[in-house]
C-alpha cells in the first residue's frame, strides 16, 4: 500500500448524518476538532458514527469513537484513553468511547495520591436516549442545568 493510501485510511471516519459545529455558524462561535492518525501506522482512526453531535470547541482525537446518536457537549475532550463514566450508576464504561444514543459532557474525577488530590479529566454520560431520539439546544441546555453544569455555547 502506498504511503498516501495508508494516510487516507487513517483519517477520521464520519457517518453520513453526524453534526459538527463549524466556525461561523449562526449562534456558534467555534468549531470541533477531529484528529486522524499520523503515527504510528498501527494506531486506530477517530470514528464518528451516524446521527452524532459534537459540540463547539470539543476535541475528538487518537482513536476515540463516538457511537451512533451520541451527543457530546461543548468543550469536551475525548481521546482513546479518556475514562468515561455513567452518572446514573457510577459504572466506568469503555475508555475513549461515547455510548450510542447518550448525552455526555466533559468532566473531572477526583484522584487521590500520595502527592495530593488531583482532578483528572473524564467524560460523564448524563443521560441515555431512546434510539432515534433527538434533543434540541434548549433541551440540551435544560439537561445540563438539571445537573448544575455550565451550559455550552
CATH superfamily of 3-146: Hexapeptide repeat proteins (2.160.10.10)
pTM: 0.74
DSSP state of 103: E
Judged against a pLDDT cut of 70, whether residue 94 lies above it is answered with yes
Q: CA–CA separation, 91 vs 102, rounded Å?
A: 14
Highest mean pLDDT among 117-121, 133-137, 141-145: 117-121
Exposure string of 29-67, with b = 16+ CB inside 10 Å and e = fewer, is ebbbebbbbeeeeeeebbbbbebbbbbbbbbbbbbbbbb
Amino acid at each position: 500500500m502506498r504511503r498516501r493510501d495508508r494516510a487516507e485510511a487513517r483519517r477520521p471516519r464520519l457517518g453520513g448524518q453526524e453534526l459538527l459545529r463549524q466556525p461561523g455558524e449562526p449562534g456558534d462561535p467555534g468549531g470541533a476538532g477531529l484528529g486522524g492518525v499520523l503515527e504510528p501506522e498501527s494506531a486506530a482512526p477517530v470514528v464518528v458514527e451516524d446521527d452524532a453531535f459534537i459540540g463547539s470547541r470539543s476535541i475528538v482525537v487518537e482513536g476515540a469513537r463516538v457511537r451512533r446518536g451520541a451527543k457530546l457537549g461543548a468543550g469536551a475532550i475525548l481521546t482513546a484513553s479518556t475514562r468515561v463514566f455513567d452518572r446514573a450508576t457510577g459504572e466506568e464504561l469503555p475508555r475513549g468511547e461515547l455510548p450510542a444514543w447518550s448525552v455526555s459532557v466533559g468532566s473531572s474525577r477526583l484522584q487521590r495520591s500520595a502527592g495530593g488530590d488531583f482532578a483528572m479529566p473524564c467524560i460523564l454520560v448524563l443521560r441515555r436516549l431512546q434510539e432515534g431520539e433527538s434533543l434540541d439546544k434548549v433541551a440540551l441546555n435544560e439537561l445540563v442545568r438539571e445537573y448544575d453544569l455550565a451550559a455550552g455555547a
